Amino acid sequence: MLRRLNWKSLLLIAAVVGLSVAALAVQNVDLRVLGARFERGSDEVLGMQLGLDLAGGTHLVFQAGDETLAPTDDQMEGLVRIINRRVDSLGVAEPNIQRLGADRLLVQLPGIEDVERAKRLIGQTASLEIVERVCGGVNAATGECVNPEDTTVLTGEDLSQSFATQDTVTNEPIVTFELNSGAARRFAEVTQRIFNSNTNRRLTFKLDGADLVETVVQSPILSGRGQISGSFSTSEARDLAIQIESGRLPVPIAVITEQLVAASLGDESLQDSLIAGLVGLALVLFFMAAYYRGAGFAAAFALVIYTAIVLAVFKLLPVTLTLAGVAAFILSLGMAVDANILIFERMKEELRVGRTVQTAIQTGFARAWPSIRDGNASTLIIASILFLFGTRTTNSAVTGFAVVLFIGVLVSLITAIFVSRNLLTLMAVTPLNRFPRVFTPESLPKRGEGAEGAP
């Protein structure tokens, strides 16, 4: 049996648990890896991201377009980015801005109770400007413009289209834009003037009054078609093109749902949710340990590990926890032990006929696996259907419930098979394997009375 104990698996479990506990212990995670920045956390409990019904704030649903104008996917993505930038000026720590279906936007602003201000800021039409920037000087170290003076030469209405492509020479991602005929002539004059001047003149794209990109004119643009090059990745070039395009074609948005959640209600809901979660976890742990004895203790320990891993996943993805999500998490705590119960019942049958603890564990897992697999697969399918239903009907409560349930069931499947099995196997190689009654609530036959070789 010692050969069956997978020490690498135990070390992997210990590493995952350590990382999960570390992620929860650190309120705000801020890592920089290979130039990329990974930020997670908040000021709430365990650094989790809480929804409006727990933290309080403003809930808005916008309808994009109108009866005569149906927004495209690029325009909707541009709207999300524009609204994200506008919301940042409100000082919202963890806003939730996402698409709902083809033409709706969900905006949740925890901690913001001035609904009218939020509606005014978010509902403003996007404004794109192309300006000629005259620098009072240039920083020799960074090349940045000092004391700039901007003159607007074109607006988003002068652009006919903008899209991401690749430079034919360098194969680097670039953004290409085309101007209307009248604007092309004005743009040719501006770029000719900038090109013929010194490096103190720049061409700058501004969206909603903020610099989007600043470029140096490398040659006059006489055809009305230009390109913006820089240190772009393919996705960054596409995002920039979407932002410029959405500025050129402003999509009207109108509020169709607004709701203010009081902070006091959020605090009360959060406290009730925490109490419910702790009570539910304690009751499940007590039942497993009291009824299944040693095996139950292993399952209880696996459930604690499951809880730490799931909460860490919620924080690192991140998942915005709402009351519906907390309900799904508490439900998943009960479902997490379902697989263990199936396994333990199979083990009990094997021990009843006189098999050894080691054989009972191996056989119990093997025979319980088909039922565990099918049961969890069914729940995952239902969670997926709920997610699609919630997304299409713009019901964030249903969507949040589905996401938390899906993650909870998926992690419980892994912990039940991977963690519980290794913990039981570890117990089976200790002197406890000489006392089968430690692993089952039933009375067992004395050694020699069972049928060890029975099928």
Question: What pLDDT was estimated at residue 382?
Answer: 94
Which helix (H) or strand (E) element contains residue 83? helix 73-88
- CATH code for position 268: 1.20.1640.10
Question: What pLDDT was estimated at residue 15?
Answer: 93
Q: Are residues 418 and 269 both part of a single domain? A: yes
Question: What pLDDT was estimated at residue 209?
Answer: 78
Residue 34: phi and psi, rounded to 5, are: 55, 40
Considering 214, 232, 260, which residue would you say is the last residue of a domain?
260
Q: Are residues 362 and 299 both part of a single domain? A: yes
Q: Are residues 281 and 332 both part of a single domain? A: yes
> Which residues are 179's β-sheet partners?
159
106-to-231, 387, 442 alpha-carbon distances in Å? 32, 15, 54
Secondary structure class of 25 (helix, strand, coil): helix
Question: What pLDDT was estimated at residue 297?
Answer: 85
Kindly state the tokens that stand for 38. Answer: 């990974």
398-to-261, 378, 395, 439 alpha-carbon distances in Å? 18, 18, 6, 40
Query: Rounded CA gap, 392 and 399, in Å?
Result: 10
Q: Is residue 228 part of a domain?
A: yes
Amino acid at 319: V
Ranges in the chain, pLDDT < 50: 1-3, 249, 448-455
121-to-87, 89, 263, 304 alpha-carbon distances in Å? 8, 9, 22, 44
Q: Are residues 272 and 404 both part of a single domain? A: yes
Q: Is residue 43 part of a domain?
A: no
Angle at 12 between CA 7 and CA 15, to 5 degrees: 130
* Cβ atoms of 263 and 392 closer than 8 Å: no
Residue 449: phi and psi, rounded to 5, are: -85, -25
Q: Are residues 75 and 165 both part of a single domain? A: no
Number of domains, the chain: 3
Q: Is residue 455 part of a domain?
A: no
Long-range contact list for 362-370, CB < 8 A, 24+ apart? Answer: 362/4, 365/417, 365/421, 368/339, 368/342, 368/343, 369/417
Q: Are residues 301 and 412 both part of a single domain? A: yes
Give the range of the structural domain holding residue 225, as residue numbers without chain letter. Answer: 128-248
- CATH code for position 224: 3.30.1360.200
Query: Rounded CA gap, 170 and 4, in Å?
Result: 56
Amino acid at 117: R
Q: Are residues 117 and 136 both part of a single domain? A: no
Question: What pLDDT was estimated at residue 454?
Answer: 41
> 380: Cβ–Cβ under 8 A, 6 or more apart, which residues?
406, 409, 410
Q: Are residues 396 and 273 both part of a single domain? A: yes
Residue 264: phi and psi, rounded to 5, are: -65, -40
Query: Rounded CA gap, 239 and 243, in Å?
Result: 6
Per-residue pLDDT tens digits for 309-333: 999 999 988 887 877 888 888 888 8
Considering 239, 260, 281, which residue would you say is the last residue of a domain?
260
* Cβ atoms of 127 and 156 closer than 8 Å: yes
Q: Are residues 82 and 67 both part of a single domain? A: yes
Residue 213: phi and psi, rounded to 5, are: -160, 145
**Residue 32 DSSP class:** E
